[in-house]
Structure 1
Amino acid sequence: MTKPRSYSTVTMVIYLIYSMSKWISTCSELWPNIGIPHIVALLLGR
C-alpha cells in the first residue's frame, strides 16, 4: 500500500502555510512599522 501523492502534497502545503503565517507574525512583531501588508507584497512579488 502506498499513500496517495495528493495526501503528501496537501500536508506539505498546510505545513508551509502554517510556518509562513508564524514567520509573518514574528516579522510583524519585530518590525511593526513595516507591517503584514508590506511583507505579503514582498512574498507575492517573488
Structure 2
Amino acid sequence: EASGGIGPEDLPEVAATGVDYVAMGMLTHSAPAADLSLKLAPVP
C-alpha cells in the first residue's frame, strides 16, 4: 500500500512501483458535507 500526499496526478508514477493499493485521503478530506440530520416534530 502507498499513502501520504498522493493525488490523482501521482497515480501513474506510484502504480509503476508495483504497489497493490493506493490510499488517497484527499478523496474524503475535500468532499462536501451532506446534511443527514433527522428533525422531529413534537407529538400533539
Shared fold by TM > 0.5? no
The structure that is strand-richer by fraction is 2
The structure that is helix-richer by fraction is 1
Name the structure, 1 or 2, with higher relative contact order (CA <8 Å, separation 6+): 2
User: Please, what TM-score do these two structures have when normalized by structure 2?
Assistant: 0.28
Point out the structure with max Rg over C-alpha: 2
